[in-house]
Structure 1
């Protein structure tokens, strides 16, 4: 508060008021920098978060005459934007992982059984397997054509996923029919 910062205010009084507002208080270091007699006198900077959600960037600069200048800049808005971008990036990475898991699932759980179904319908259609009634032959034909259509759709999904992943590229050009 402005009332606490008066001429001749002792740093311990300021520390008492400020420490209660910070979540992980850097005030022990601030007091040491102002009152200490280190020969190193190195400048420092960092960030601290207040309990109200504000984020402050601080700098401690040792002046040539033995004094210390401390600066505080409110960087809450930029930190909030940074956090939002990180959250969106994590969500995009999770969505990408879900897509990859889906493609793997489609590949192993749908493609292989469809290939088996198509193979068995072709096997059933062969005369060496045994005679089929006209109705059975019709059903086997429907099973084969539906399975082939579904396999084409699954292959198209996998092709789109490989293009999206950058593994395969589309070569768009005019083609003579």
Structure 2
């Protein structure tokens, strides 16, 4: 068969394109729109605005990363009540951190290096914040709670500093 005009030659191409773009009934051609992910280190999902609890959350972040590094300077972030519960008495963090860290599994220490503290809830006291262990965000597998890794951390402002307390 010989084609007599350019329009006739284009007809098969147009028919193929039309069949490819035809509606498929109830077929969804585009995925539903979802919100963009946010940086979980700074964003909060609790009722407390994240900027209000940022300083307190930063103390817990530094503590957890310091435990992973074995840095005794993390002891400065602890109130006597937490030191008593975790190390057997106030002032015992510096001497007991190495032993407490040794009780953590290597995967727990690795997990602490990538943990973030995205949210904090108000309470239990006025001006305090609480961070539940399950609200911590982990880069990979989470650490197991226990020992230094409490089920919940309470942060209280004492003087001009935020401290981790019970």
Name the TM tier (shorter chain).
under 0.3
TM-score, normalising length: structure 1:
0.26
Q: Which of the pair has the greater relative contact order for Cα pairs under 8 Å at 6+ separation?
A: 2
Higher helix residue share: 1
